[in-house]
Amino acid sequence: MVVDILTLFPEMFAGPFDASIIKRAREKGLVEINLINIRDFSRNKHRTVDDTPYGGGAGMVMAAEPLFEAMDWIRARRGDPGRVILLCPAGRPFNQEVAAELAREKHLVLICGHYEGIDERVAEHLVTDEISIGDYVLTGGELPAMVVVDAVCRLIPGVLGERASAQEESFSDGLLEYPHYTRPREYRGYRVPEVLLSGHHEKIRLWRRRQSLLRTLASRPDLLARASLTGEDRKILASVLEEIK
Ligand SMILES: CCN(CC)Cc1ccc(CNC(=O)c2csc3nc[nH]c(=O)c23)cc1
């Protein structure tokens, strides 16, 4: 997969993409990430990329020209991208389903907005998808772009070890994860639950499932409503609800 990121602050991306899983994916040639500075496509001598809004109002608006010029350059080099994603607060809420959809593309362009907004002609004539990463206001689209790239890249075959992706399948039943423990058995008087030390695989499986159900019930009942629950799950939930009566 090729990801072209249009941004005013390419330096912001240095850390997250040069470490760990994304770095390995790039080295393996599974993903190519190009950082493109929007300012390089400004056609005026002051290299400006924003201007005052028509109709008045506070703040500045990102101009259309540098983004259209950058898209021409991308198209000339690599042909039409599958998706052109504008990161913006008013976009479609990003979630695992959107990540899976984008992970099937060969070529993504991400546009990181700034200022009060971007000239609407960009959204109208260049953009295929507008994506928000949540209902809170950030200073720009760069962190959202990193979040999207991270979530999408890990779904590209070969990026995660096959074990991890197999594990992913088991979690994708929509419940929250059960608690994890590792050595030592006791640390500062805090002990690991006995069942996990028992070696009794069926009891451990049941305990973990119960923990997932309890946690999901406690903090994400909305997920519980949507999850694919087995008969066994319903029995566990019934006994839990009995207990807390
Ligand atoms: C004045 C109204 N603001 C919209 C809520 C203007 C505005 C604020 C912050 C931004 C910068 N944020 C993003 O570009 C952004 C891009 S994706 C995203 N997801 C969640 N929250 C976000 O702020 C974002 C852009 C416009």
User: What is this model's ipTM?
Assistant: 0.96
Low-confidence ranges of the chain (pLDDT < 50): none
Question: From ligand 1's centre to the CA of 88, what distance in Å?
Answer: 5
User: 171 Cβ partners below 8 Å, 6+ apart?
Assistant: 177
The token pair at 80 is 């039409």
- 134 CB near ligand 1 (under 6 Å): yes
Question: Closest ligand 1 atom, CA of 144?
Answer: 17
Question: Closest ligand 1 atom, CA of 140?
Answer: 11
Question: What is the best residue among 50, 137, 139, 143 to mutate for testing ligand 1's pocket, by most ligand atoms within 8 Å of CB?
Answer: 137
Residues 14-46 have pLDDT tens digits of: 988 888 889 999 999 999 999 999 999 999 999
Question: Closest ligand 1 atom, CA of 59?
Answer: 1
Question: Closest ligand 1 atom, CA of 88?
Answer: 16
- 144 CB near ligand 1 (under 6 Å): yes
- 87 CB near ligand 1 (under 6 Å): yes
pLDDT of residue 65: 97
Query: Is the full-model pTM beyond 0.90?
Result: yes
Give the 3-state secondary structure of 60-100: CEECHHHHHHHHHHHHHHHCCCCEEEEEEEEEEECCHHHHH
**Residue having the nearest C-alpha atom to atom 11 of ligand 1:** 140
Backbone angles phi, psi at 13, to 5 degrees: -90, -5
**Residue having the nearest C-alpha atom to atom 7 of ligand 1:** 116
pLDDT of residue 168: 60
Residue type, 112: C
